[in-house]
Structures are given as structure tokens and as C-alpha cells.
């Protein structure tokens, strides 16, 4: 498992001009918002397709682990997860939510399912 310390030791953070290690969720949301290049319905579609595309890039890298029986490049997977996070944040901003709120919603939903013994199975509203 790769940690932030591993990335620091590899000099990964040296390529950035801001200190991403101390970025807060709120600060990251504002940073993402500053990078948005589309507006309105175009932004919604662009951000949604971006999210799906980046999730596909994660799957593609993991797929090669099976297909080629090679070592998984964990840093490259983490970079793609960062791209996924970018579009999740863009969509959260679009809908006026924030990452803390989304995390709270998810925790409440899954804790409720676990409490009711419904953590396994399928369906959005179980
Ligand atoms: Mg990517």
C-alpha cells in the first residue's frame, strides 16, 4: 500500500507549487471550482462523463493486472483516483453540496443499511 509518506519520499509532491498535503476538503473544492472550464448543462454532462471516464481509467489499469499478469503500478492507480475525485468534487460543487456533506450522506446511508442487516445485496434504496 502506498502512503502519503511514500509519495513524499518519491518526490511526487515536489512537482506542485502548493502544499497539497495540507489541503482541506473545502480548499480542494475551491481549487477544483477554479479549474472548471464549462458551465450549466454542458458542465453537468462534461463532469459526469469525466467521472465515468476516469473511473474507467482506474478499471483499465487494474484490468491489466489480470490480463498481463504484471505488477500493478499503485501510484498510477492513485493518480487516476485523484482524477475521479476531481470530477466527483466538480459535480458536488455543481449541485451546491460539498464533500463533507456527501461523505455524511454516504456514512448515514451505509450505517443505516448495516444497522438493518442490509449491507449486502443490491438496490439503491434497501
Ligand atoms: Mg486520468
Distance (angstroms) between ligand 1 centre and the Cα of 87 equals 10
CA–centroid distance, 50 to ligand 1, in Å, is 9
Ligand 1 centroid vs 83 CA: distance in angstroms?
5
In this prediction, residue 19 carries a pLDDT of 62
Residue 23 dihedral angles phi and psi, to the nearest 5°: -70, 130
The cell numbers describing 9, all together, are: 519520499
Closest CA to 20 of 33, 31, 9: 31
Residue 16: the pLDDT is 62
Query: In angstroms, how far is the first alpha carbon of the chain from the final one?
Result: 33
pLDDT of residue 26: 85
Domains observed in the chain: 39-115 (1.10.287)
Q: How many CB atoms lie within 10 A of CB 26?
A: 11
Q: Which residues of the chain have pLDDT under 70?
A: 13, 15-23
Ligand 1 centroid to Cα of residue 46, in Å, is 14
Q: What are the residue ranges of helices labelled H in the chain?
A: 4-9, 25-35, 40-67, 74-94, 99-115
68 contact partners, CB below 8 Å, separation of at least 6: none
Residue 86, Cβ neighbours under 10 Å: how many? 18
- The confidence score (pLDDT) of residue 6 equals 77
Amino acid at each position: 500500500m502506498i502512503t502519503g509518506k511514500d509519495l513524499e519520499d518519491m518526490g511526487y509532491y515536489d512537482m506542485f507549487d502548493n502544499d497539497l498535503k495540507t489541503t482541506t476538503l473545502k480548499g480542494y473544492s475551491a481549487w477544483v471550482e477554479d479549474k472548471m472550464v464549462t458551465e450549466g448543462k454542458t458542465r453537468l454532462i462534461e463532469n459526469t462523463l469525466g467521472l465515468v471516464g476516469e473511473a474507467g481509467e482506474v478499471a483499465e489499469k487494474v484490468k491489466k493486472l489480470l490480463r498481463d499478469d504484471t505488477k500493478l503500478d499503485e501510484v498510477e492507480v492513485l493518480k487516476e483516483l485523484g482524477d475521479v475525485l476531481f470530477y466527483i468534487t466538480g459535480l458536488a460543487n455543481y449541485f451546491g453540496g460539498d464533500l463533507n456533506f456527501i461523505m455524511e450522506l454516504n456514512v448515514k446511508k451505509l450505517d443505516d443499511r448495516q444497522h438493518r442487516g442490509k449491507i449486502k445485496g443490491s438496490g439503491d434504496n434497501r
